[in-house]
Amino acid sequence: MNNDNIRRTCPIGLIFGQQVAKYVKENYIDKLLSLNKRRRYNIALNKLKENYLVDTQELYLLSELKSQIFKYISDNEEQFDNIEVYLDSVSKLFDKDLNSLELDEDMKKVQYMLFYFAYGLGEKV
């Protein structure tokens, strides 16, 4: 959405809270061997946690997307033991749904990581 009249008040990262963001950072991003990827994903995570604001309608969209992705993960848990397989698969199916939020590619990947780890931590579907 590129409408300046919409009031964006809530950081997108709050859909799961700081605990999930911290878990993603410590258990995946910080363990990446590629310095370039580690840096890019940390920057994207910080944007999602602190700087990227969404409005109520966009939070609703994320909530709906969360339900769809959690169902997708649940239906394919055996395939998704490897997060890279999950990231490739979920990107192909759901990138179009995140386009309205104007996220860059790294922010989309990190958002998918948040969904993945929130699911694994027992977040409610």
Q: Is residue 7 predicted with pLDDT exceeding 60?
A: no
pLDDT in tens, 66-110: 899 999 999 999 999 999 999 999 999 999 988 888 889 999 999
CA–CA gap between residue 84 and residue 92 (Å, rounded): 13
pLDDT in tens, 12-38: 555 666 788 889 999 999 999 999 999
CA–CA gap between residue 89 and residue 71 (Å, rounded): 14
| pTM summary value | 0.83
pLDDT in tens, 63-74: 889 899 999 999
Beta partners for residue 10, in sequence order: 54
pLDDT at 98: 85
Average confidence (pLDDT) over 5-10: 46
CA–CA gap between residue 28 and residue 18 (Å, rounded): 15
CA–CA gap between residue 122 and residue 118 (Å, rounded): 6
Query: Mean pLDDT lowest for which of 4-13, 55-64, 107-116?
Result: 4-13
Q: Is residue 47 predicted with pLDDT exceeding 80?
A: yes
Q: Is residue 9 predicted with pLDDT exceeding 70?
A: no
Beta partners for residue 11, in sequence order: 53
pLDDT at 44: 93
Three-state secondary structure string covering 7-68: CCCEEHHHHCCHHHHHHHHHHCHHHCCCHHHHHHHHHHHHHHHHHCEECHHHHHHHHHHHHH
Q: Which amino acid is at 75?
A: D
Q: Coil, strand, or helix at residue 113?
A: helix
